[in-house]
């Protein structure tokens, strides 16, 4: 199958019924933590329910952390990893959700260069804590274009770009790996490749 599809959820969807998606999607993601104080109350339900999707085919799962640039990046990575590590298996993946939180397009009112520097600290820390697991950056073209993602081209891009036939790829990236194609009624996503390429990319083991 070309362009495998998936969804991503959070507590906003309540106790999401993953079983209803069996046979319809190829991967899934859920929110785990935010900043230094928030843990998604439904993340364990979502994480474990994504595991049950393996009964029809091998199902990659992704957990994400919503970044706050006003908080320490290293501490946020530590908290995210320590929350998810007891349930982290080979083939699981971790995402930095890096986007605007304010009407002026900033994250917590922090300057783009500072946001990028703190986010890179997060990514570097997560790479160190979770070797062997893919770490990605989720963002939008406009937020990245403002300089909030400077120096992140070493990490794969999960780009949010709606209502287009193909996503814009903001600097510093030259290509996209995942594309959030829409947000109504759920966030919908696509992988840039085939299903076998997806499983290879996430380093999915032969069995798990």
| Host H or E run for residue 129 | helix 112-129
Q: Domain count of the chain?
A: 1
In this structure, is residue 158 part of a structural domain? yes
Q: Using a CB cutoff of 8 Å and minimum separation of 24, what contacts does 101-105 make?
A: 101/68, 105/142, 105/143, 105/146
CATH of the domain at 115: 3.20.20.80
Phi, psi (degrees; rounded to nearest 5) at 110: -85, 140
Domain boundaries, position 101: 27-141+149-179
In this structure, is residue 154 part of a structural domain? yes
In this structure, is residue 9 part of a structural domain? no
For the full predicted model, state whether its pTM sits above 0.85.
Answer: yes
Going by the DSSP 8-state scheme, the letter that residue 2 receives in this structure is: B
In this structure, is residue 207 part of a structural domain? no
In this structure, is residue 99 part of a structural domain? yes
pLDDT at 206: 78
In this structure, is residue 110 part of a structural domain? yes
In this structure, is residue 118 part of a structural domain? yes
The tens-digit pLDDT sequence of the chain (208 residues) is 568 999 999 999 999 999 999 989 999 999 999 999 999 999 999 999 999 998 757 999 999 999 999 999 999 999 999 999 999 999 999 999 999 999 999 999 999 999 999 999 999 999 999 999 999 999 999 999 999 999 999 999 999 999 999 999 999 999 999 999 999 889 999 999 999 999 999 999 877 6
CB count within 10 Å of CB 12 equals 11
Whether the CB-CB separation of 119 and 152 falls below 8 Å is answered with yes
Q: Which of 77, 175, 82 is nearest to 120 (CA)?
A: 77
In this structure, is residue 17 part of a structural domain? no
């Amino acid at each position: 199958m070309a362009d495998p599809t998936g969804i991503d959820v959070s507590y906003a969807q309540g106790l999401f019924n993953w079983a209803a998606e069996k046979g319809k999607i190829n991967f899934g993601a859920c929110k785990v933590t935010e900043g230094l104080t928030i843990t998604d109350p439904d993340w364990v339900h979502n994480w474990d329910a994504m595991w049950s999707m393996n009964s029809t085919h091998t199902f990659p799962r992704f957990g994400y952390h919503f970044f706050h640039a006003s908080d320490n990046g290293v501490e946020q990575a530590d908290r995210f990893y320590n929350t998810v590590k007891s349930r982290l298996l080979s083939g699981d993946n971790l995402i930095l959700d890096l986007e605007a939180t304010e009407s002026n397009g900033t994250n917590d009112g922090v300057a783009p260069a500072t946001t990028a520097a703190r986010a890179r600290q997060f990514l570097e820390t997560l790479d160190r804590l979770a070797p062997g697991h893919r770490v990605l950056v989720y963002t939008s073209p406009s937020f990245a274009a403002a300089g909030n993602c400077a120096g992140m081209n070493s990490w794969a891009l999960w780009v949010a770009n709606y209502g287009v036939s193909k996503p814009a790829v903001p600097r510093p990236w030259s290509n996209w790996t995942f594309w959030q194609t829409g947000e109504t009624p759920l966030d919908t996503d696509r992988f840039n490749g085939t299903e076998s390429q997806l499983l290879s990319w996430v380093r999915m083991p032969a069995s798990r």
